[in-house]
């Protein structure tokens, strides 16, 4: 294949990117998106603060722009994200207890229902584990409603859109470590008890290197009977960037249940990691060495 998604498709995988609705009128940007990518994630437009800015009032304008544009061009969409401690609307930030639990499940149900039939996979829950080296749950208003809030969100999502794959997504879980092992134990428990979960997303926001046990970690999750996906890939610019992107592709291709890779933005100037130049295209939209090594590895 001569583009990222065409090459990935030949290997039975997808290659995607996150996009911002506010950049969709930029011809250089959309030209690259249309040409190179077959899976689209909304960078911010489907998060809780965007979709339910006031309690019970849902706002889908920007999310719909992204989803309908992608589907109209024959691309697929990853939904990001139904439940997260961050980017909550103000009204939700100040809630707690059973009222918050009810508001969360209503949010999951409403948003998943709105997009029913249009989403390849939902990040149902994002970043619910802590970085304390002990695999604890992250403290948040959602966690304080009870440890079962994650499975409640997954059950609500399945009921609303039975056709979407349901994923747990996190960062810092890319290697074998206490945090990823805690997620692993949760997924194993969900599978054992019939809690609906289909996939695990590994954000993969990397410094200049990737973990040596990246492939082994993806494989141990796949062995639980879930798909794995690389969901928010970016790698800091440096002399190793092209090599590191190649290693990510090789890790995914080595795991049969690794279904695809998404990079978190198009050009370096579009990245949330300001100054790190972590993406595949430079600020002018030109292909970087990292692009070529990625394409060649696919
Ligand atoms: C980031 C976006 O890229 C930024 O535009 C926004 O200001 C903050 O969120 N983990 C996630 C993504 O799951 O939603 C985050 O996206 C990056 C870290």
Rounded Cα gap, residues 112 and 156, in angstroms: 9
Annotation marks residue 232 as catalytic: yes
Q: Of the listed 127, 232, 236, 250, which one is catalytic?
A: 232
How many percent of the chain have pLDDT more than 70?
A: 100
Structural contact between residues 137 and 189, judged by C-beta atoms closer than 8 angstroms: no
pLDDT digits (tens, 9 = 90+) for 215-243: 999 999 999 999 999 999 999 999 999 99
Indicate which residue's Cα is closest to atom 7 of ligand 1.
272
- Can you state the angle between helices 214-222 and 178-193, rounded to 10 degrees? 10
Report the predicted TM-score, pTM, of the whole model to 2 decimal places.
Answer: 0.98
The question of ipTM being above 0.85 is answered as yes
Atom of ligand 1 nearest to the CA of 205: 18
Atom of ligand 1 nearest to the CA of 47: 14
Give the pocket of ligand 1 (CB within 6 Å): 43-44, 126, 203, 232, 272
Q: Determine the distance separating the centroid of ligand 1 and the alpha carbon of 87, expressed in angstroms.
A: 9
Residue 223: predicted pLDDT = 98
Find, among 50, 35, 34, 41, the residue nearest to 18 by Cα: 41
Peptide linkage before 81 cis (omega within 30 of 0) = yes
pLDDT digits (tens, 9 = 90+) for 140-178: 999 999 999 999 999 999 999 999 999 999 999 999 999
pLDDT digits (tens, 9 = 90+) for 74-87: 999 999 999 999 99
């Amino acid at each position: 294949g001569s583009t990222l998604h065409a090459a990935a498709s030949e290997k039975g995988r997808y290659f995607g990117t996150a996009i911002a609705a506010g950049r969709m009128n930029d011809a250089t940007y959309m030209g690259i998106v249309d040409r190179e990518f077959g899976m689209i994630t909304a960078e911010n437009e489907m998060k809780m603060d965007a979709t339910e800015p006031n309690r019970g009032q849902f706002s889908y304008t920007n999310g719909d722009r992204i989803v309908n544009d992608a589907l109209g061009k024959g691309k697929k969409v990853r939904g990001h994200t139904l439940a997260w401690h961050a980017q909550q609307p103000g009204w939700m930030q100040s809630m707690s207890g059973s009222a918050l639990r009810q508001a969360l499940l209503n949010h999951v149900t409403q948003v998943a229902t709105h997009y029913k039939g249009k989403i390849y996979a939902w990040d149902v829950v994002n970043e619910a584990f802590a970085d304390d080296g002990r695999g604890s749950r992250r403290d948040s208003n959602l966690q304080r409603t009870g440890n079962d809030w994650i499975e409640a969100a997954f059950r609500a999502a399945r009921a609303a859109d039975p056709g979407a794959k349901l994923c747990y997504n996190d960062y810092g879980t890319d290697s074998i470590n206490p945090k990823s092992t805690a997620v692993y134990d949760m997924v194993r428990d969900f599978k054992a008890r019939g809690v609906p979960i289909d996939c695990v997303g590994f954000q993969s926001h990397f410094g200049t290197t990737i973990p040596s046990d990246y492939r082994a970690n993806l494989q141990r999750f796949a062995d639980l009977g879930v798909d794995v996906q690389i969901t928010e890939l970016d790698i800091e610019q440096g002399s190793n960037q092209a090599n590191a992107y190649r290693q990510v592709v090789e890790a995914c291709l080595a795991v049969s249940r690794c279904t695809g890779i998404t990079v978190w933005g198009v050009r370096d100037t579009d990245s949330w990691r300001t100054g790190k130049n972590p993406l595949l295209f430079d600020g002018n939209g030109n292909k970087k060495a990292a692009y070529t090594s990625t394409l060649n590895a696919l």
